Structure 1
Amino acid sequence: MDELKLRHRAMWALGDYPAVATEIIPELGTTLVKACGVDAGQRVLDVAAGSGNAAVPAALAGARVTASDLTPELLEAGRAAAPVPLEWVEGDAEALPFPDASYDVVMSCVGVMFAPHHRATADELVRVCRPGGTIGLINWTPSGFIGRMFATMKPYAPPPPPGAQPPPLWGDEAHVRSLFGDRVTDVVAERHTVHVDFPDGAAFRDYFKRNYGPTIVTYRHLADRPEDAAALDRALAELGDAGGADWEYLLFTARVRG
């Protein structure tokens, strides 16, 4: 595994992302499973699954589910908490360890958007999905709350590696359509919001400073720059106060062309 992937794996092991998934956005996984039409007996792959926010609802629907993620700590947390059996496999979204055309549904809930090379990731999603199968994604939009949070953190964060693309681009319909091109058909792309309650912007900021890997990494980058850390504190609190209740995402589904 190269240095970039090791850094990504370490970032998502920081804090407590399983808490974020279950406490802040628990309904998104079920929303994605319903949009993909997951049914009993189907072979389903959840890519960049984390602790199983979408994989578990798919398994509860009766599907045969594999949850794959780059970060073993997240898979362990999911395995320990899952109320239903499913397969947990360590894997890179840009080089999935599965055969061609091996799944009926390939999905990801605010997961693959964080793989740095978007085209390689899209290629893998298509490769492992059977012809006529469904690809389903939920990703934060650039103009929505989480997209604006990343824009707020960007001036303070470590510089991205060469060739890495911004995660919120996966929430831009035109970008996602361009990644899949004519390899998919029956595309449905809809913007929705999920309602999130924090008492105020400071509470939002502090929760993400404790639990969310990208935010933790950004603050660690500012360990020797207390003035910048204080400025980021103010900026994130102001962001939360200004519009942190409804977080916009793109729900994208398509069928792999036969």
Structure 2
Amino acid sequence: MGFEEFKKRQSVVWGTGPYEKLPEHYQPLLDHVARALDAGPGERVLDVGTGTGALATRLARTGAQVTGLDLAPALIETAKRLAADEGLDIRYDVGDAERLPYEGASFDGVTSSVGSIFAPDHEAVARELARVCRPGGRLALGMWSDERGVVDMFKVMRPFMPDPPPGAGSPFQWGSREYVEQRLGADFELRFEDGDAPQTGESGQEVWELFSTVYGPTRTLAEALEPDRREELRRAFVDFYEGYRTGSGVHQPRPYLIAIGTRRG
């Protein structure tokens, strides 16, 4: 399976659940990215991998002229509905982070909150983020840590998942400062900030029910497995989160990295 077939499948996978219910579980990351970009009224901002528009919505509330792009048509339709419900004028497009459908240097700010990291061709994504950002423009990217947190959840799912296409980058590579510098440092003057968006819940079972119904990759994976294998995944997932039980329920630290850049040239 090549990248194009992989992305075609991913465009469906990510839209299989009501993803709009998930961003409340990583609000600190979304708020951090929005603060880091510091968009102002009238500024042209692009949110890549916008999902259902949680970050785009935050940016639009500042008065910025926001465009959100995502590979999954179902997520874009939800984002449009949510923007209309709030009376926000946000442009939403279905598109590929590896081939952004915009002119060069057409945005004052470019963002992504754990969205573009899932595109398989990291070099292409980095090239496109730089291409559409004007000289002197700003970049703010939110990425899950490559050391612990969400990466550990994916390790639980990994034995049950099909292999990615050869040459595909891992989304968690973006959680390394050195990796981001290698991909973006030539085009952006970068600095970094850290934060945490913990996963909480009353129990490991509650977290499983959330992800297996709302989060496209987990929901699609669970639905594709035979009953015995699905139960094995459920038990592994629940046991993993029960390992983070506290006196008030489950509390799993999920560290993240924010890359903040100014476009060179």
**Structure-1-length-normalised TM-score:** 0.93
Counterpart position of 2:183: 179
Single out whichever of 141-150 and 43-52 deviates more from structure 2: 141-150
Instruction: Tell me, yes or no, if structure 1 residue 3 matches structure 2 residue 5.
Output: yes
Counterpart position of 1:201: 204
Structure 2 CA distance for aligned equivalents of residues 178 and 29 of structure 1: 24
Structure 1 CA distance for aligned equivalents of residues 109 and 98 of structure 2: 17
1:188 to 191, 200, 203: 191
CA RMSD of aligned residues (A): 1.6
* Map 1:1-258 → 2, pairs under 5 A: 2-21=4-23, 23-82=24-83, 83=86, 84-185=88-189, 187-223=190-226, 226-243=227-244, 244-258=251-265
Give the % identical residues: 35
Whether contact under 8 Å (1:28, 1:53) holds in the other structure is no
Single out whichever of 59-68 and 213-222 deviates more from structure 2: 213-222
How far did residue 220 of structure 1 move? 3.4
Structure 1 CA distance for aligned equivalents of residues 32 and 64 of structure 2: 16
What letter corresponds to residue 253 of structure 1 in structure 2?
A: I
Structure 2: any 5+ residue segments left out of the alignment?
245-250
How far did residue 237 of structure 1 move? 1.1
Structure 1 CA distance for aligned equivalents of residues 199 and 40 of structure 2: 29
Structure 1: any 5+ residue segments left out of the alignment?
none
Deviations along 1:4-47, whole A, 9 cap, x unmatched? 221010110111211112x3223432321111121111110000
Deviations along 1:47-76, whole A, 9 cap, x unmatched? 010111111111100101101111111111
Whether contact under 8 Å (2:28, 2:196) holds in the other structure is no
Whether contact under 8 Å (2:29, 2:256) holds in the other structure is no
Structure 2 CA distance for aligned equivalents of residues 168 and 212 of structure 1: 17
Change (3 A) 1:166 1:221: farther
Structure 1 CA distance for aligned equivalents of residues 109 and 136 of structure 2: 9
What letter corresponds to residue 189 of structure 1 in structure 2?
A: F
Whether contact under 8 Å (2:27, 2:197) holds in the other structure is no
Single out whichever of 233-242 and 93-102 deviates more from structure 2: 233-242
Structure 1 CA distance for aligned equivalents of residues 256 and 31 of structure 2: 14
What letter corresponds to residue 108 of structure 1 in structure 2?
A: S
Structure 2 CA distance for aligned equivalents of residues 74 and 2 of structure 1: 19
Structure 2 CA distance for aligned equivalents of residues 256 and 221 of structure 1: 43
Whether contact under 8 Å (2:25, 2:197) holds in the other structure is no
